Structures are given as C-alpha cells and as structure tokens.
Amino acid sequence: MQVRTVNISKRYAGLAALDDVSLTVQPGELVALLGPSGSGKTTLLRTIAGLEPPDAGTVYFNDRDLSDSRIQDRGVGFVFQHYALFKHMRVMDNIAFGLRARRKNKPREDEIKRRVLELLDLVQLSGLERRFPAQLSGGQRQRVALARALAIEPSVLLLDEPFGALDARVRKDLRRWLREIHDRTGHTTLFVTHDQEEALELADRVVVMNKGKIEQSATPDEIYDTPATPFVFSFIGESSVIPVQVGNGRATLDERLLDLEIGALPDGPAQLYLRPEDVTMVTDGGPGIPGLVVSTRRIGGMRRVTIECGLARHRIEFDALAEVPINNSQRLTIRVIGGRVYGAGAEGYETERLAASATSDFKWAKAEGWLDR
Amino acid sequence: MTATAPDGARSFRWRRRSVLPGFGLSLGYTIVYLSLVVLIPLAGLGIRSASLGWTQFWAIAFDPRVVQALQLSFGAALAAAVINTVFGVLVAWVLVRYRFPGRRWLDAAVDLPFALPTAVAGIALATLYAPNGPFGAILDHWFGIKVGFTPLGVVMALIFVGLPFVVRTVQPVLEEIDRETEEVAATLGARRWRTITRVIFPALLPAILTGFALSFARGVGEYGSVIFIASNLPFQSEIAPLLIVIKLEENNYAGATAIATIMLVISFAMLFVINLLQAWSRKWFGHE
C-alpha cells in the first residue's frame, strides 16, 4: 500500500507541529521519520493513523482519500513506545483483539487461535500465550504489541519510537529483528525515532524533520554523505562548523584557500560543516591550517582531537590514530579534505537548539510536551 | 520453549527478613489498634447478645417486625449501591474525561454528602420529595410515584449518602487508564462500545466493586438521613438501625444488641463475598 500525505498542516496552541508536509512512501518501503523532539515526526505518524485530524491537507492510502475515514476503517497497525498492551488480557487475547473486533469476515475462533499462534511464532514468543503483559519483559511486550498490530493484516505499519523504552542491548536485537520481519512480511512501514543510528541502520529511506517540516528525504547513505541542509548535517553524526568566505567559486578561511567543491554559492560569508573524517593532520610539512590542540579523548581505536583554528579560534574536531601522541596545547597543522559549505543564514541543529533554549526555554518545553506526547 | 505454568501455589512464609524493616512493629500496632477501635467493641456486642440465650435470640431474630426492618435495610442499601455504581461511574467518567467550565466545582460537590450531617440531607430530601414538596408533588401527580415517607424514600436517602464512595474509588483508576490503550483499540478496528466494554471496563472492575461495597456498607449503617425521609412505620418503612434505637429507648438492651449482631453477621458475610469477588476479578483480569 502506498502512503501519501499531501500538504498536511497542524498547529498546537499556535505552534506549527506540521507545516505543509508532503511525503510519499512506496509500497513495501521501510521509512524512518527522524528528528529532535518537537519536530513533528510523531504528529505526522499519528495523522497518518487517523489519531490526529490535520488542520489542512490530505492523507491517501494508494489513491483512497482518507479525510472522512475513521481510524477503525484505515487498517493501520500502530505500535506505541510504551506498548499500550491490554493489561487485563493474556498475550493471546491481546493479539486476537483486532480479529475479534472485526465486523466483516470475522474468522472463526479456532482460526483466530491458529493465527495467533502463528504470529507468536513469528515474533518468537511461542509458549507465552497464557501470560499476562505484566509477566513479560519490555522487549517481549513490544513484540506482543507488534504481533497484535500485524494480526489485523494492516495496510500500513506505524511505529512510534518502538524501541525508545528499551535498554540499549535489547534495542539493537529488536532493530535487527524488525528488519527481518519487515523483509518477510513486506508491510509498508513507517517508524518514528530520534536516534539517528537506529534510523540509518534500519530504514530504506530516512526522512529528517525539523520544526514541522521535512528537511531531507533520502537513503541513509545520501543523508550522511550529502546532507541537503546544515540542519541535517549537524543532526546526523558529529560535526564542526567554521565560518568561511566565498568568492569566485572558492571558499577561503582567513584568506587561505580551501580545496573544496562548493557548488553555486553567492559570494560572501558562508559556513563550512565538517565531519571528523573530513580533516587530516599534516605531518609532511605541507600547506595547511595551523591550530592549537584544546583537548583529546579516546574513542575506540581513534583519538578525537579538538583544535582551535583561525583568527577567531573556531573549534574543529577530527580523528587521529591513537598511536600518534598528541598533547594539549600542542601546535598542529590540519588540512580540510571534505565537508560541505552552506550559504549564510542557514543554521544547523546545534546553533538552532542553543538559540532556542536561550530565547524561549519555556515555550520550547511547552511545545515539546504538546507535540511529542 | 516450554509452556510456563502460572506461578505455583504461593507458600506462606512468616517473613523474618525483609527489605522493608519494621514488619513486627507495624503488624503489632495494626492488631492492637484494630482491636481497640473495632474488634473489642464488636466482641462486646456479641457477648452482650449472648446473654439472651438461643431461644430468645431466635425469637427476636425472626420477629416479623425485625425481619421486615432487616429486609428493608439490606434491600434498600443494595438497591442504592447498584444505582450508585451505575451513576457514580458515569459521574467519574464525566469528571475525568471531559473538560468543561465548572468541572472543579462539580468535582468538589461530589464530596458534600461526606461532609454534610446526614440529618440535614434527610430533612432536605424529605422537604423536596414529600407528597406536598416540589418534586414529590410532581412525581405523585404525573407518575403516581410516592417517594417521601415510603421505602423508596429510604433508597433515595441511601443513594445520596453513598454516591461519593463510588465516584472517589473509580475516579483515580480511570485517570490512570492510558489514552494509548484506547487509541490502539481503535486502530485495531474496535468501535467505541467495544473499547469501553472490553478495554476500559475490565480495568475499572476492581475499583467499581470496591465502590459498590463501600456504598453498600454505608447504606446498611445509615441512620440520620433515613429517619427523616421514611415515615418509620413498623412493617413498612422502618429500618433496622432505627429499630435498635427504639429497643434501646425501651431499655431492651439485649434485644438491641441481638439485632445489631444479626446486622453485623450479614454485613460481614456480604462484604466478605464482595471482597472475594474483587480478588477474583483482579486475578482474572491480571491486575497482579
């Protein structure tokens, strides 16, 4: 089933939760909605499910307009972060709930039982059908919730931070397992997460959202390698930002020419976004940017080095091999071998978050409470 | 994976070590306190009525006037508790689920029957529902229903005093129910009615039973409000607590304690059954 939202807008208490959002998800696709809290990702998911009526815009499943369709008739499987299992029902009755609630084509009781056992097998919980939810671990509960959603043979599977309440280890297992289930059942699936690692690892396509808008919708590789906006660049992975000057199609830092493709940017001030791997140390005495080491810390087999560069002493982080000794206050020369330059006025995630928390902490807290229930 | 049986018979252990210290002290305090306040006075009741001897006791117990009074007391309390359960749940639902101007005032008003001297309530109800009162006249004239000074009036008074018990026990549990479980039921195709009966109601059932039991118990013991709205005619609208007072005024202490003992036994038996039901419902619906 293809899922399409067209120009969806939604406001809460004067704040735009969704601002003219259009998104198409192809049949069988596994899509992650990724963004910070308050970005509108959960609202978008709930709007698709019909749990939240949009102020404007339309949701389509294939070519069916769902504006007047009730939640009950949409056939969406929805999984909540906190499972939302029926506590007073055994696992088996939880999973059978959707089948028993059917008005048309309600299967016979023995057929329901067969289907439930099949699903329990699929989610690897065979033998636990007589348990109550309280007798299961968090990971098991979430699997029951998923089996319950799959039982109705949903046209779309929607998951709202499905692994958010689980500990890191279980989360990783379930992530892999969800991918397997998806590949086996082929449901069109959307899931919400604020964990970029989860989104990049699990999804066919990642939709990065910010302030109720879609910043970029692309494959995990494209999201990481060619972020469309500074926001995406700084939200995904590690990043450093330094201001540069653009002139004649080249970027310069303190009048030193940088060897970078910058595309068609107008002349004037711009910002260079760097990943740790976009910077190397110059050890052969060649040209580069001099800097002063501020701090170092060990990350796995590498050493993450923070240096201050340029006249304005901007901080850049990069990785050096752990066996190379680097001390604080040491002078180094670095060379920029990658990164992206964005025009002036474009702001990244960190700068935005800082500005927001500085100016209107209260408003944001309120908005987050409202938007990401 | 093998099928796991539900927890085996839980063996009772006299807990010596516990993460919660002070078990002995707090249990001892509980028993002493309960004894002083509840058990010893009630035992005194039993001893006093035992001075009667069986034949006399049975004579009082099966005195038609006493039987009628007990029937009215328990019957009216039961009827009032049933009505309170239905409408109390409704009131709790409205207070929890809807936001409307004056909600807090309404919420506070629910407690009034707790605070008001019940005699005041009885007088107010009697004034309204007496055959010549504003409501009583209408009911009598249009529907031929007499409320004031009849057994119906007794039920009316007991509804009044019992309502807060149901509302206040159901309300917090209803507040705890997660919106998401209802939303999930809807996405699974359940219509509203199905969600209410299959998802919300079972979660509320233990609280509803508790509210019912409290309201019922309150009704059995109620005296102040009832005597004003019932005409208190023997064999008609005389409640058991009133009969006890009458016996006391006749200096028939043994007779009074005999009736009291019978009430005590019946009440205890009924509350015990309700508690069992409640425990069963908790277990059945997996509350623990």
What does A45-113 look like in DSSP terms, one character per residue? Answer: HHHHHTSS--SEEEEEETTEE-TT--HHHH-EEEE-TT----TTS-HHHHHHHHHHT-SSSPPPHHHHH
The answer to whether position B78 is within a domain reads: yes
Say if residue A258 is in the same domain as residue A177.
Answer: no
At B10 the pLDDT is 52
Instruction: Flag if B187 and A101 touch (Cβ within 8 Å).
Output: no
Name the minimum distance, in Å, from the CA of B196 to any CA of chain A.
12
ipTM associated with this complex: 0.80
CA distance A250 to A265: 9
Q: Are β-strands A205-210 and A213-218 bridged in parallel, bridged antiparallel, or unpaired?
A: antiparallel
Q: Kindly report the CA angle at A14 between A11 and A19, in degrees rounded to 5?
A: 40
Among the partner-chain residues A76, A133, A134, the one whose CB lies closest to the CB of B187 is A76
Say if residue B127 is in the same domain as residue B235.
Answer: yes
Mean pLDDT by 10 residues, chain A (373 residues): 92 87 94 92 94 92 89 92 91 94 88 93 90 91 94 92 86 88 91 91 94 93 90 88 84 80 80 89 83 89 87 85 86 88 70 48 40 37
The chain B residue lying nearest A98, using CA atoms, is B188
> What single-letter amino acid sits at A78?
F
Say if residue A257 is in the same domain as residue A137.
Answer: no
CA distance A172 to A149: 21
Instruction: Flag if B189 and A72 touch (Cβ within 8 Å).
Output: yes
Say if residue A206 is in the same domain as residue A326.
Answer: no
Q: Which residues of B touch A143 (CB under 8 A)?
A: none
Structure tokens at B153: 């009036």
Among the partner-chain residues B6, B187, B198, the one whose CB lies closest to the CB of A71 is B187
Say if residue B142 is in the same domain as residue B208.
Answer: yes
Say if residue B238 is in the same domain as residue B130.
Answer: yes
Among the partner-chain residues B184, B287, B288, the one whose CB lies closest to the CB of A80 is B184
- Burial-class residue A306 by CB neighbours within 10 Å (0-12, 13-18, 19+): middle
CA distance A309 to A292: 7
Which residue range is the domain that position B29 belongs to?
21-50
Q: What torsion, rounded to 10 degrees, do the Cα atoms A40, A45, A49, A51 define?
A: -30
At A263 the pLDDT is 75
Of A173, A203, A230, at which residue does a domain stop?
A230
Total count of domains within chain B: 2
Which residue range is the domain that position A275 belongs to?
231-346
Number of Cβ pairs < 8 A linking chain A and chain B: 89
Say if residue B184 is in the same domain as residue B42.
Answer: no
Percent composition of chain B: helix, strand, coil (DSSP 3-state, to 5): 75, 0, 25
Name the minimum distance, in Å, from the CA of B217 to any CA of chain A.
28
CA distance A235 to A248: 30
Q: Which residues of A touch B181 (CB under 8 A)?
A: 84-87
Q: List pLDDT tens digits, range B96-148.
A: 988 999 999 999 999 988 888 888 888 888 888 888 888 888 888 788 788 77
Answer whether A199's CB lies under 8 Å from A206's CB.
yes
Give how far Cα A72 sits from Cα of A51, A158, A287, B9, Å. Answer: 10, 14, 66, 42
The answer to whether position B172 is within a domain reads: yes
Say if residue A215 is in the same domain as residue A262.
Answer: no
Q: Which residues of B touch A126 (CB under 8 A)?
A: 1
Say if residue B137 is in the same domain as residue B96.
Answer: yes
Q: Which residues of B touch A136 (CB under 8 A)?
A: none
Say if residue A201 is in the same domain as residue A275.
Answer: no
Say if residue B126 is in the same domain as residue B236.
Answer: yes
CA distance A306 to A100: 60
Instruction: Flag if B286 and A89 touch (Cβ within 8 Å).
Output: yes
Say if residue B67 is in the same domain as residue B43.
Answer: no
Say if residue A225 is in the same domain as residue A242.
Answer: no
A229 closest CA partner among A43, A26, A35, A29: A35
Q: Kindly report the CA angle at A289 between A285 and A291, in degrees rounded to 5?
A: 100
Q: Kindly report the CA angle at A201 between A197 and A204, in degrees rounded to 5?
A: 125
Instruction: Flag if A101 and B189 touch (Cβ within 8 Å).
Output: yes
CA distance B243 to B234: 9
End-to-end CA distance of chain B: 24
At A143 the pLDDT is 92
Total count of domains within chain A: 2
Instruction: Flag if A84 and B180 touch (Cβ within 8 Å).
Output: yes
The answer to whether position A152 is within a domain reads: yes
Say if residue B39 is in the same domain as residue B164.
Answer: no
Per-residue pLDDT of chain B (288 residues; tens, 9 = 90+): 344 444 444 555 555 566 777 888 889 999 999 999 988 888 888 888 778 888 888 888 888 999 999 999 999 999 999 999 999 999 999 999 889 999 999 999 999 888 888 888 888 888 888 888 888 888 887 887 887 788 888 999 999 999 999 999 999 999 988 889 999 999 999 999 999 999 999 889 889 999 999 999 999 989 888 888 887 888 888 899 999 999 999 988 888 888 998 898 899 998 899 888 888 887 776 655
Q: Which residues of B touch A107 (CB under 8 A)?
A: none
At B79 the pLDDT is 96
Q: Residue A268 maps to which CATH number?
A: 2.40.50.140
Say if residue B138 is in the same domain as residue B151.
Answer: yes
Q: Which residues of B touch A131 (CB under 8 A)?
A: 4
Say if residue B41 is in the same domain as residue B149.
Answer: no
Say if residue A149 is in the same domain as residue A246.
Answer: no
DSSP bridge partners of B272: none
CA distance A210 to A222: 18
- Which of A42, A46, A66, A88 is best to mutate for the B interface (most B CBs within 10 A)? A88
Name the minimum distance, in Å, from the CA of A129 to any CA of chain B.
9
The answer to whether position B89 is within a domain reads: yes
Count other Cβ atoms within 10 Å, centred on residue B287: 17
